[in-house]
Structure 1
Amino acid sequence: MQKKERISTLQVIFMTMLFEIGSTPLFLIGGTVKQDSWLAMSIGAAAGFLLLLLLLWIQKHSSGQNLMNMLTAHFGRFSGSLLGGIYCLYFAYQSMRNVRDLGELTAMTLLPRTPVSLTMLLFVLIALYAIWKGTEVIFRLPEILLPLVLFFYGVIVLLLGIMGAIDLGRLLPVFESSPGMLVQTALPDILSFPFGQMIVFLMLWSLWDKPGVPYKQSLVAYALISLFLIFMNIVNMAVLGPTIAGISQLPLLKVVRTLSNLKFIERLDILVTIQLFIGLLIKMMLFFLCAVKGISVLTGKREQWWVFPVGAVIYGTSFLARNYTEHIAIGLGPSLKIDPLFQVAVPLLLAFSILLRRTNKRSSPQKRT
Structure 2
Amino acid sequence: MQQKERISSLQIAFMIMLFEIGSTPLFMLGGKAKHDSWLAMSFGSAAGLLLLGLLLWIQRRSPKQDLMAMLTLHFGRWPGSLIGGIYCLYFAYQSMRNVRDLGELTAMTMLPMTPMWITMLIFVLTALYAIWKGAEVVFRLPEILLPVMLSFYGIIILLLFIMGEPDFNRLTPVLDHGLKPVLAAALPDIVSFPFGQMIVFLMLWSLWDKPGVPTRQSLLAYGAVSLFLIFMNALNVAVLGEGIAGISQLPFLKTVRTLSSLKFIERLDILVTVQLFVGLLIKMMLFYYCAVKGITGLTRKPVKWWVFPVGGLIYAASFLERDYTQHLAIGLGPSLRIDTIFQVVLPMLLGLSILLRRGEHNLNRSVRKR
TM-score grouping bracket, smaller chain normalisation: over 0.9
Deviation at 1:276, TM superposition (A): 0.2
Deviation at 1:183, TM superposition (A): 1.1
Separation in 1, partners of 2:255, 2:365:
64
Alignment of 1:242-281 (within 5 A): 242-281=242-281
Which residue in 2 is equivalent to 1:293?
A: 293
Q: Which runs of 5+ in 1 are unaligned?
A: none
Which residue in 1 is equivalent to 2:145?
A: 145
Separation in 1, partners of 2:284, 2:352:
31
1:239 and 2:239 matched: yes
Deviation at 1:180, TM superposition (A): 1.8
Which residue in 2 is equivalent to 1:325?
A: 325
Separation in 2, partners of 1:286, 1:352:
27
1:309 and 2:317 matched: no
Q: Supply the RMSD in Å over aligned alpha carbons.
A: 0.6
1:43 and 2:43 matched: yes
Contact 2:33 2:182 in 1 (8 A): yes
Runs of 4+ aligned residues of structure 1 deviating over 4 Å after TM superposition are none
**Deviation digits for residues 10-54 of structure 1, max 9, x if unmatched?**
001000000000000000000111100000010000000000000
Which residue in 2 is equivalent to 1:70?
A: 70
Contact 1:36 1:177 in 2 (8 A): no
1:334 and 2:352 matched: no
**Deviation digits for residues 348-369 of structure 1, max 9, x if unmatched?**
0111111111111211122221
State the secondary structure of the residue aligned to 2:364. Answer: helix
State the secondary structure of the residue aligned to 1:174. Answer: coil
Contact 1:132 1:304 in 2 (8 A): yes
Deviation at 1:121, TM superposition (A): 0.5
1:101 and 2:98 matched: no
**Deviation digits for residues 137-188 of structure 1, max 9, x if unmatched?**
0000000000011111011000000000000011111112321221111111
- Which amino acid in 1 is paired with 2:96? M
Which residue in 2 is equivalent to 1:127?
A: 127
Which residue in 1 is equivalent to 2:166?
A: 166
Separation in 1, partners of 2:347, 2:281:
26
1:8 and 2:24 matched: no
Separation in 2, partners of 1:86, 1:363:
33
Contact 1:120 1:315 in 2 (8 A): yes
State the secondary structure of the residue aligned to 2:4. Answer: coil
Contact 1:106 1:119 in 2 (8 A): yes
State the secondary structure of the residue aligned to 1:264. Answer: coil
- Which amino acid in 2 is paired with 1:346? L
Which residue in 2 is equivalent to 1:34?
A: 34
**Deviation digits for residues 215-235 of structure 1, max 9, x if unmatched?**
000000000000000000011
Which residue in 1 is equivalent to 2:196?
A: 196
Contact 2:63 2:212 in 1 (8 A): yes
Separation in 2, partners of 1:177, 1:184:
12
Separation in 2, partners of 1:92, 1:108:
24
Report the count of equivalent residues.
Answer: 369
Contact 2:32 2:181 in 1 (8 A): no
- Which amino acid in 1 is paired with 2:157? V
- Which amino acid in 1 is paired with 2:310? V
